[in-house]
Amino acid sequence: MRPPPKKTVLLFPASWMRTETSMTKTELCLLSAAQMADGLAAGDFTSVELTQAHLDRIADLNPALNAYLYVDDEGALATAREVDEARAGGQDLPRLAGVPVAVKDIACTIGMPTTAGSKMLEGWMPPYDATIVTKLKSAKMPILGKTNMDEFAMGSSTEHSAFGPTRNPWDLDRIPGGSGGGSSAAVGAYLAPLAIGSDTGGSIRQPAAVTGTVGTKPTYGGVSRYGVIALASSLDQIGPCARSV
């Protein structure tokens, strides 16, 4: 029998007690993306509550995991408030409006730095959004931040980021896979219900397998690569990481 892990992240800190809200922060973060969408539509909680729960969890656990390189509290909450106001006004909204998402730091983002895990691009603020980011914004999904990765996606463990390795949330002595280990670790540790990755030779699928999440490399050409920093353009694909099919 395999021995238990030496070190694990405290996935549910004792400080996450029930508050005056109808659900605890832990309960909110444990929902699937589909359950979050249903709960938002039913008025069981707001996007601000849901987004803040994830931001609080990121603040608690990301120092140990290093899954996120950049967290956009202000931008994520602004989108969440916009969704809540629109829903209260009776507007028709996209299915996942108000559900938070994380984006691998290989996709260009206006207002957020894009580094591709490299000091060469440290602090670079793109003048445009990648198509995938444009689509997430049009879907009214609060973008929590940018996730860690092997530098320029050259790696399969997320140990080779210029900004330090990402840890597997189930065992801090183990890798989360790569190059998209930041996205898979964020989803596996309930720091996001969904995350965007890129896959050239397994960089979504392998991290998902290693962290107990689900990842897909879409059919070539199925998702635009515009605004995504290339490793091998004819093989790179943008795709999702989630906790269920």
Tell me what pLDDT residue 172 has.
Answer: 95
The answer on pLDDT for 17 being more than 60 is no
The answer on pLDDT for 19 being more than 50 is no
The answer on pLDDT for 4 being more than 80 is no
Active-site residue, 25 included: no
Over pLDDT 90: what percentage of the chain? Answer: 87
> Of all helices (H) and strands (E), which one includes residue 198?
strand 194-199
Which of 140, 161, 203, 217 is catalytic? The answer is: 203
The answer on pLDDT for 18 being more than 90 is no
Tell me the whole-structure pTM to 2 decimals.
Answer: 0.92
Tell me what pLDDT residue 21 has.
Answer: 46
96: confidence class by pLDDT, cuts 50, 70, 90: very high
Tell me what pLDDT residue 220 has.
Answer: 86
Per residue in 157-208, pLDDT (tens digit) is 999 999 999 999 999 999 999 999 999 999 999 999 999 999 999 999 999 9
Which of 179, 183, 184, 198 is catalytic? The answer is: 179
Own/partner contacts of 70-76, CB < 8 Å, gap of 24 or more, are 70/105, 70/112, 70/113, 70/145, 70/146, 71/144, 71/145, 72/111, 72/112, 72/143, 72/144, 72/145, 75/111, 75/112, 75/142, 75/143, 76/51, 76/100, 76/142, 76/143, 76/144, 76/145
Tell me what pLDDT residue 233 has.
Answer: 82
Tell me what pLDDT residue 135 has.
Answer: 98
Tell me what pLDDT residue 23 has.
Answer: 76
The answer on pLDDT for 14 being more than 60 is no
Over pLDDT 70: what percentage of the chain? Answer: 91
**11 or 37: which leads in pLDDT:** 37
Tell me what pLDDT residue 63 has.
Answer: 97
10: confidence class by pLDDT, cuts 50, 70, 90: low
Name the pairing type of β-strands 143-147 and 68-71: antiparallel
Binning the chain into helix, strand and coil, the percentages to the nearest 5 are 35, 15, 55
Tell me what pLDDT residue 8 has.
Answer: 61
Tell me what pLDDT residue 180 has.
Answer: 97
Tell me what pLDDT residue 221 has.
Answer: 87
Mean pLDDT of the chain: 93
Active-site residue, 203 included: yes
Tell me what pLDDT residue 9 has.
Answer: 59
The answer on pLDDT for 15 being more than 80 is no
Active-site residue, 104 included: yes
Which of 25, 104, 140, 217 is catalytic? The answer is: 104
Tell me what pLDDT residue 127 has.
Answer: 97
The answer on pLDDT for 20 being more than 60 is no
The answer on pLDDT for 40 being more than 70 is yes
